[in-house]
Amino acid sequence: MIELQNAAYNYGGGELLSEVSLKLAPGSFHFLTGPSGAGKSTLMKLCYMELTATAGQARVFGNDVRNMTRDDIAEARRRIGIVHQDCRFLDHLPLMQNIALPLSVSGKDVEAEKGNLRELLKWVGLDHQENALPQELSGGERQRAALARAVIMAPDVVLADEPTGNVDSEMSQRLLQLLIELNKMGKTILVATHDLALIRMAKSQVNIRVLRIANRRVQLAGADL
Amino acid sequence: MTPKSSQPGFVDTMLETFQGDNAGVVPATGHTAWLTVFASGAMAFLAVFALALSLATGRVADRWADELARTATVRIAAPVGQVDAQTEAALNVLRTTPGISEALALTDEEQNALLTPWFGSELDLESLPVPRLIEIVESDPGYDRDGLRLRLAGEVPGAILDDHSRWRAPLVAAANRLRSLGLLVLVLIAATTAVIVTLAAGSALAANQQVISVLRLVGAHDSYIARAFVRRFTLRALAGSAMGTLAGCVAILLMPDPGEVAQNNFLTGLGFVASQWLWPLIIPLLAGAVAFAATRTAAFRALKELT
Ligand SMILES: Nc1ncnc2c1ncn2[C@@H]1O[C@H](COP(=O)(O)OP(=O)(O)O)[C@@H](O)[C@H]1O
Ligand SMILES: [Mg+2]
């Protein structure tokens, strides 16, 4: 699905990531961990094509990102559910429309999908909030809303950057359950987090692989978690 | 959703812009919105006057040019007994003058008709030494005025060449120039509208970088994002210029009526005549099209740079 081959990234002050190779096989569940500032979000951005590797290559759905036009990237993103680290909503639109945004953007009939939208809101436990504006939601609600928006297009891959960033442990657990459910539905999942407790919790329920960024490289973490 | 194989035409693209449900994805930005509406309104108001000036000077130029072609005369002022002989002599001179295509002596009735408004109908022409008038029709290159004067002075002592309406020639030229300037002003107004809309759209695009990045995150094509902006600015320009045009037309309607006599003057005759009233209708359409093209260009350029 998504593959990095000897990829590097450099914001200008020296390489932040070097010789990164990873492969997200269909249906796999990966965690990406590492200290704050290690480059987790940067690696996620390489995966969803917001950044282009400064060396090596990234392949998304088999295509070399360097050869993709902006329209190609837009098309590919419709198959990737992205939960951004800061969620990122359109603050002037109510929750329902924010979650429906991927549908509107790809020209789908939002009215016809209203049923699915309601179901999805119920799934993330926000069915009573559909008319709320994003800034009226709590941190955990925003994270769940971001997850709902990420999966509305029934994507093949879900990339979640710190999905439990600023929520309490109970909410973390709920979010994790949603991600596990998605994986059981066959979705490929990559979650970046510095929350080791979350990883341990996941490990006890599904088959996961944990990647760790250390010294600019990405390694497969052992049983030391 | 975006046709890839065939290049859509301007009208197709424009229609597509006003379909779809991307109306609300870009938040309404208060003051650029009103600046655009106001500026296109003001520009349309000015455009109405430029158009009126252009059309009015055009009418005046046509009328004056028409009169110019017919208004040179030769007057024969001679003692009563010699008028006919001198008229004949003058006609001979005129017929052999290159650049004059026709020379016609007015009949008594025609002269009467000309004089009646001044002296009343009871006038007995026979009893007065009324000069005989010969009307000259010039051909295109015109005739040598001074040469003709000299010949007439030599051969027909009572003849006076009167081409006083010549003074209008530079005015006709000026009116024609004014008509072209009016059209140039229209072009400048359209260009200024394009500049204003481009700047406003540019600032709206810059102010909405967050929105654009969210839209891109969920897989929006440039064309989708551009449409949201283009639609908004085109509608604002249309609305503003429709109001400006309406205000301009009302202002012209309210201009003091100059009456028949003053119709010859482009200042008092400023306005539209009959079907010319249809012309201002194109101003909002033009403004909409200009705004559409300007925003589209600005949006695609900004989106290309914003990666
Ligand atoms: N746009 C940027 N320009 C320059 N430096 C950046 C940019 N984004 C992130 N960085 C730097 O790259 C490093 C890694 O950032 P990030 O990938 O967000 O780490 P993490 O998500 O693991 O906390 C940080 O030191 C950060 O300051
Ligand atoms: Mg991060």
Domain match, A96 and A51 both: no
A218 lines ligand 1 (CB under 6 A): no
- B80-116 per-residue burial string, b: 16 or more CB within 10 A, e: under 16: eeebeebbebbbebbeebeebeebebbeeeebeeeee
One domain, residues B33 and B108: no
Q: With contact defined as beta carbons under 8 Å apart, do A162 and A137 qualify?
A: no
Minimum-distance ligand 1 atom for the alpha carbon of A194:
22
Query: Do residues A149 and B218 touch, judged by C-beta distance below 8 A?
Result: yes
Overall average pLDDT of the B209-232 stretch = 92
Q: What pLDDT, on the 0 to 100 scale, is given for residue B11?
A: 61
Q: Is residue B3 predicted with pLDDT exceeding 50?
A: no
Tell whether B106 and B178 lie within a shared domain: no
Interval B103-116: pLDDT, tens: 888 887 787 777 77
Q: What is the mean pLDDT of residues B76-87?
A: 84
pLDDT at residue number B4: 41
Rounded to whole angstroms, how far apart are CA atoms B29 and B207?
9
Nearest CA to ligand 1 atom 1: A11
Question: Are A49 and A148 in the same domain?
Answer: no
C-alpha distances (whole Å) from B265 to each of A77, A141, B172, B261 are 67, 74, 11, 9
Structural domains in chain B (count): 2
A206 and A145 in a common domain? no
Q: Which of B66, B144, B143 is nearest to B102 (CA)?
A: B143
Sign of the CA dihedral running B166, B168, B171, B172? negative
Please work out whether the CB of residue A158 comes within 6 Å of at least one atom of ligand 1.
no
- Read off the CATH number of the domain in which A66 is found: 3.40.50.300
- Report how far ligand 2's centroid is from the alpha carbon of A11 (Å): 15
Q: How far is the first Cα of chain A from the last one, in angstroms, to the nearest whole number?
A: 27
Pocket test for ligand 1, best of A11, A15, A43 (most atoms within 8 A of CB): A11
Q: What is the mean pLDDT of residues B229-257?
A: 91
H-run or E-run covering A166? none
Q: How far apart are the C-alpha atoms of A68 and A6, rounded to whole Å? A: 19
Question: How far is Cα B117 from Cα A155, in angstroms, rounded to an integer?
Answer: 93
Q: What is the mean pLDDT of residues B209-226?
A: 93
Residues near A26 by beta carbon (within 8 Å), at least 6 away in sequence: A1, A156, A186, A188
Q: For a pLDDT cut of 70, what percent of chain B falls above it? A: 80
B50 band by pLDDT with thresholds 50, 70 and 90: very high
Q: Which residue of B has its CA nearest to A159?
A: B217
CA distance A222 to chain B (A): 33
Kindly tell me if the per-residue pLDDT of B69 is higher than 80: no
Residue B94 half-sphere exposure toward CB, CA atoms < 13 A: 28
Q: A85 lies in a domain?
A: no
Counting as low any pLDDT under 70, the low residues of chain A are: 223-225
B72 located within any domain? no
Asked if the Cβ–Cβ distance from A93 to B21 is below 8 Å, we say: no
pLDDT band at B6 (very low <50, low <70, confident <90, very high): very low
Question: How far is A202 from B125, CA to CA, in rounded Å?
Answer: 123
Indicate if B230 and B293 belong to the same structural domain: yes
Question: Is the same domain home to A145 and A171?
Answer: no
User: Tokens 């009167």 belong to which residue?
Assistant: B162
In sequence order, the 6+-apart residues with CB closer than 8 A to the CB of A195 are A164, A172
B266: pLDDT strictly greater than 70: no
Residue bearing the bigger pLDDT, B82 or B31: B82
Same domain, yes or no, for A215 and A107?
no
Among candidate residues A136, A154, A172, the one where a domain is terminated: A154
- Specify the length of chain B in residues: 307
Q: Flag if A91 and B224 touch (Cβ within 8 Å).
A: no
Assess whether B211 and B283 both reside in one domain: yes
- What pLDDT score was predicted for residue B127? 67
Range of the domain at A95: 90-154
Let me know if residue A192 belongs to a domain: yes
Where residue B1 falls among pLDDT bands split at 50, 70, 90?
A: very low
B38/chain A closest Cα distance in angstroms: 25
- Say whether both A51 and A118 belong to one domain: no
Ligand 1 centroid – CA A42 distance (Å)? 6
Q: Is the pLDDT of residue B22 over 70?
A: no
Average pLDDT, chain B: 82
Is pTM beyond 0.80? Reply is no
pLDDT of the residue at B213: 92
Q: Is the same domain home to B82 and B192?
A: no
Q: Indicate whether B100 and B18 sit together in one domain.
A: no
Burial zone of B189 (CB within 10 Å; 0-12 exposed, 13-18 middle, 19+ buried)? buried
B60 and B90, same domain (yes or no): no
ipTM of predicted assembly, 2 dp? 0.91
- A70 within some domain: yes
Which positions ≥6 away from B71 have C-beta within 8 Å? Answer: B163, B165
Query: Which residues sit opposite B103 in a β-bridge?
Result: B136
Tell me which residues of chain B, numbers 13 to 72, contact chain A at a CB-CB cutoff of 8 Å: 20-22, 24-25, 27
Which amino acid is it at B7? Q
Of the partner residues B25, B221, B222, the one whose CB lies closest to the CB of residue A90: B25
**pLDDT number for residue B2:** 40
Same domain, yes or no: A99 and A70: no
Distance from CA of B302 to the nearest CA of A (A): 13
Q: What residues make up the domain containing B203?
A: 10-65+169-305
R_g over Cα of chain A: 17
Q: Among the residues of chain B, which ranges form H helices?
A: 10-17, 30-68, 83-95, 108-119, 145-155, 168-207, 209-217, 222-253, 282-305
Whether residue B60 contacts residue B175, with contact meaning beta carbons closer than 8 Å, is answered with: yes
Q: Percent of chain B scored above 90 by pLDDT?
A: 30
State residue B192's pLDDT score: 95
Q: A212: which 2 tokens?
A: 């760790």
B79 confidence band (pLDDT: 50, 70, 90): confident
Among A105, A133, A154, the domain-final residue is A154
Q: Is residue A26 in contact with ligand 1, taking CB distance under 6 Å?
A: no
Question: Which of B199 and B176 is assigned the larger pLDDT?
Answer: B199
Q: What is the pLDDT of residues A202-219, one digit of tens each?
A: 999 999 999 999 889 998
